[in-house]
Amino acid sequence: MADTHELIRNDFPRGDFRAVLFDFDGTLSLFREGWPRLMTDMMVDFLREAGCVEPNDSLSLRVENFIMELNGRPAIFQMMRLAEEITALGKTPLPAESYLREYDRRLLAMTADRTAEVERQPEKAAVWAVPGTHDFLEELKRRGLKLYLASGTERHFMQPEADLLRVSGFFEEIHAPTAGDRSFSKRAVIDRILTTHSLQGHQLISFGDGVIETGETRKAGGVAVAVASDEGGNGTINQWKRIRLAEAGADWVIPDYTGQKTWLPELLGS
């Protein structure tokens, strides 16, 4: 049976929400669905080349853990972590940028078919969006909320994908790092949105599938809704994601946006 939502903390102040911040990959877009597996496999390949003898299962798990801990920051940070792991094996790593280029190459090979499908058939946009995305964004706008997008994915990749999915137009602002920018952080984006629009933390709600945006929203005093979609597309909450996001401070957990009519009035208090 499909899950609608799970409440972890529900005693936050309501009635004064103004801004809603969205992550992109995994939260709105499924173009890059499967990226953690792809990144893990690539890193395991490089670690094996560097002489790592750790058994496959434990190595994959360990690599996936540090990848997900850094999910929300630009991918170069995950590549810097790979370089550290290779150094720890007594080998000289390549520059982190080289690993990033290889990752982008593999990722592009995976996403090219998906984006091409929507380029040919624009009506397929909904297929590659998290279920219920378009109706949900529409409803938030209708309620007068201001929507912001913050993605750790480099802008030259992310913006065309957001355009293809036909979600760009919903957002007041789209924040994403330019190529090679290591200074981007969700923390800085949240601070900037609050300051620029004279908002307080409790007026912010975020939707994200990463531990970083979840934790930073809570630190800023906002309400963090975790999107823990199950990749099988059966509308249930993915327990593995749920556990991490709950640990990071998620207030609510949803599998996607299809149940919004049930839970949105409760979330907003109106």
Binding site for Mg ion (CB under 5 A): 23, 25-26, 209-210
Nearer to Mg ion by Cβ, of 25 and 154: the residue is 25
Nearer to Mg ion by Cβ, of 26 and 93: the residue is 26
Sign (positive or negative) of CA dihedral 24, 29, 31, 33 = positive
CB 257 within 8 A of CB 130: yes
Q: Give the shortest CB-26-to-Mg ion separation in angstroms.
A: 4
Q: Give the shortest CB-152-to-Mg ion separation in angstroms.
A: 7
Nearer to Mg ion by Cβ, of 86 and 149: the residue is 149
Q: List % helix, strand, coil for the chain (3-state, nearest 5).
A: 50, 15, 35
CB 235 within 8 A of CB 258: yes
Tokens of 82: 């790979």
Q: Give the shortest CB-24-to-Mg ion separation in angstroms.
A: 7
Nearer to Mg ion by Cβ, of 47 and 154: the residue is 154
CB 238 within 8 A of CB 230: yes
Nearer to Mg ion by Cβ, of 29 and 93: the residue is 29
Q: Give the shortest CB-23-to-Mg ion separation in angstroms.
A: 4
Residue nearest to Mg ion (CB): 26
Q: Give the shortest CB-215-to-Mg ion separation in angstroms.
A: 13
Q: Give the shortest CB-91-to-Mg ion separation in angstroms.
A: 31
CB 8 within 8 A of CB 251: yes
**Residue closest to 213 by CA, chosen among 239, 237, 185:** 185
**Residue closest to 248 by CA, chosen among 196, 192, 186:** 186
Nearer to Mg ion by Cβ, of 203 and 206: the residue is 206
Whole-angstrom distance, CA of residue 242 vs CA of residue 83: 29
- The values of phi and psi at residue 147, to 5°, are -110, 140
